[in-house]
Structure 1
Amino acid sequence: MVSNLSITFMIVSMLLSFVLPLALIAYFYKKYKISIKAVLVGVLIFIVFSQVLEKMLHWYVLVRNPQTAAMLTNPWIYMVYGGLAAGVFEEVGRFIGFKFFLKGRTQWKDGMAYGIGHGGIESILIGGMMSLQYIVYSNLINSGMFEKTLGAKVPIGSLESLKQVLISSSPYYFGVIGVERVLAVTFHIALSLLVLYGVKNRKNIYLLYAIVIHALFDFPAALFQTGQIKNVWIVEFILLVVALISLIFIIKSKYMFSKSKD
């Protein structure tokens, strides 16, 4: 049985992942009159560059090509590949979004709007939908319908592994999903402002900075996935530190943009 506390944390994470982006849009629209177009461009760029183009590369490198797939069984090579892939696709996507779809929108509030869209849709698709799936699966397990409902669609080994994760994991693990999304949205807003600052001042080196920072941000998660980091709380602590640094940058960047000429 999946505990009621676990399901409660899943619900909290789902609500947090869905509500946070909408709350940020509402707040910044009311206070700064942010561009909804910039928010939507952030959403579109994330979907196209991260969920379509990057996944196509992953399919080829990790599945289709046996040479690269074998090479990437090395956890350290996988870490570098995964971090750089995310960094290149998402940051180049940000750059293209600002350069071509949001011409003339180079104010601090425009970077905020784009970052909310980019990080917000990730929050919904990853944190929100994952938590929703976990809630559905947990109810199926507790009602005794899990194997009967999913048995024909999912290999039995994967089904049992998923069931054990839901039953045996600490309830707090499911609460972390929502907290993680809050931290990630903060990070995405900061990177959006960094890339926009480079576009605004015609300094493309800021795109390289963003790619490297993004890759470094993803390294701990990749090491956890490959078992090199055993304790998930180490990863979460690193994400918390990065989010706090991102928040400080977001606040200070407002002054940077105000002093920078268009």
Structure 2
Amino acid sequence: MTNTENITFSNEALAGYWVSGALMILAALTYFFIIRKKVKLNVKALIVGAVVFPVFALGLKNILQYPLLIADTPVARAAADNIWLLYFIGAVCAGLFEETGRFIAFKTVLKDCKSREDSVSYGLGHGGSEAVYLGLHNISLIAMGLIVNNSGVDAVLKGAEGAARESAVEQVRGYAEQTLLSGVLGGFERIPSIALQIGLSMLVFAAARQKGKGWLYPLAIFLHALVDFTIAFYKAGYFGLAVMEIILVVMSAAIFFGTYKFVYKKMDRNEV
């Protein structure tokens, strides 16, 4: 049985989660107020984007990920022992489900949204929803840390046994290793991440609205998966956290500005 006696959340770890959570939520609010001054926000597109993220990224995606990463299957066992396969599956699933969610939204409930600026509203809702969710999740980890410090790890394992308990213990151990620096970097990561979500929304909007641009939908899936897969290099020890964050900033900025210049600006203001 895994030893849990040495797992505690330091004050630095708790502060890291507080800073990270607060910065993530602040990033979403900042984007909202800035974009509201730059474009005419479509409230419907904003709300749909905020809803599609949890439905597709946190809900439907898990249906596919369960047999591939969680259940006792040959693929899941192979992924558990191979960090590259693990992050490849996770990245592809994220790209596939989130971009498909966008595409379906633009083709159905948002089919009456014709302005290219509606893609910005949707992207803000999608990326902002993700930022707020992650921010609240990080803040909630403070409560878990206090419980672990006061009552031990078993108090948060809820009767888990066997392999499930071992996995849960390692997850809690990972949470306890948070540092203030990683919290700050994680919080600021939402700045390029929200820009990325807006850029991908521009791509999928064009794919859904413009004739001959359908190929932009699989391109969005590929770019999304590529950004997510980059984390595997950090986890494998090829570079540190700060370098990984810089790489994510560069990739996200390249996708956003590239899409803005070569796709968004070339769309008519009002697509038919």
For the aligned pair, the TM-score class normalised by the smaller chain equals 0.7 to 0.9
TM-score scaled to structure 1, two decimals? 0.83
**For structure 1, which runs of at least 5 residues remain unmatched after alignment?**
none
Paired amino acid for 2:248: L
Q: Which has the higher helix share?
A: 1
In structure 2, relative to structure 1, the CA distance for the partners of 1:29 and 1:216 (3 Å cut) is same
Deviation at 1:258, TM superposition (A): 3.9
Partner Cα distance (2:88, 2:122) in 1? 27
Paired amino acid for 1:204: G
5 Å matches for 1:96-111?
96-111=104-119
Paired amino acid for 1:43: A
Aligned to 2:4: none
Partner Cα distance (1:65, 1:5) in 2? 36
Question: How many correspondences in the alignment?
Answer: 259
5 Å matches for 1:150-169?
150=156, 152=158, 161=170, 164-165=173-174, 168-169=177-178
Partner Cα distance (1:158, 1:258) in 2? 51
TM-score scaled to structure 2, two decimals? 0.81
Aligned to 2:131: 123
Partner Cα distance (1:145, 1:65) in 2? 31
2:36 to 24, 29, 39: 29
Secondary structure at the counterpart of residue 258 of structure 2: helix
Contact 1:106 1:196 in 2 (8 A): no
1:193 to 194, 197, 202: 202
Partner Cα distance (1:261, 1:159) in 2? 49
Contact 1:112 1:189 in 2 (8 A): yes
Contact 2:9 2:145 in 1 (8 A): yes
Partner Cα distance (1:88, 1:167) in 2? 31
Contact 1:75 1:223 in 2 (8 A): no
Contact 1:189 1:250 in 2 (8 A): no
| Structure 1 range deviating more: 176-185 or 50-59 | 176-185
In structure 2, relative to structure 1, the CA distance for the partners of 1:151 and 1:62 (3 Å cut) is closer
Identical-pair percentage: 27
2:217 to 188, 191, 207: 207
Aligned to 1:137: 144
| Structure 1 range deviating more: 80-89 or 155-164 | 155-164
Contact 1:79 1:223 in 2 (8 A): no
Partner Cα distance (2:269, 2:250) in 1? 28
| Cα deviations by residue, 1:70-126 (Å, 9 ceiling, x for unpaired) | 333333333332222111111111111111111132323211111111111111222
Aligned to 1:15: 22
2:91 to 60, 63, 83: 83
Paired amino acid for 2:204: V
Contact 2:17 2:139 in 1 (8 A): yes
Deviation at 1:236, TM superposition (A): 1.5
Partner Cα distance (1:37, 1:83) in 2? 28
Do residues 53 (structure 1) and 60 (structure 2) align? yes
Aligned to 2:122: 114
Deviation at 1:204, TM superposition (A): 0.8
Partner Cα distance (2:268, 2:23) in 1? 32
**For structure 2, which runs of at least 5 residues remain unmatched after alignment?**
1-7
Partner Cα distance (2:65, 2:124) in 1? 26
Deviation at 1:251, TM superposition (A): 4.7
Partner Cα distance (1:52, 1:146) in 2? 30
Contact 1:118 1:188 in 2 (8 A): yes
Deviation at 1:183, TM superposition (A): 2.0
Deviation at 1:150, TM superposition (A): 2.9
2:228 to 201, 218, 240: 218
Partner Cα distance (1:231, 1:114) in 2? 33
Secondary structure at the counterpart of residue 257 of structure 1: coil
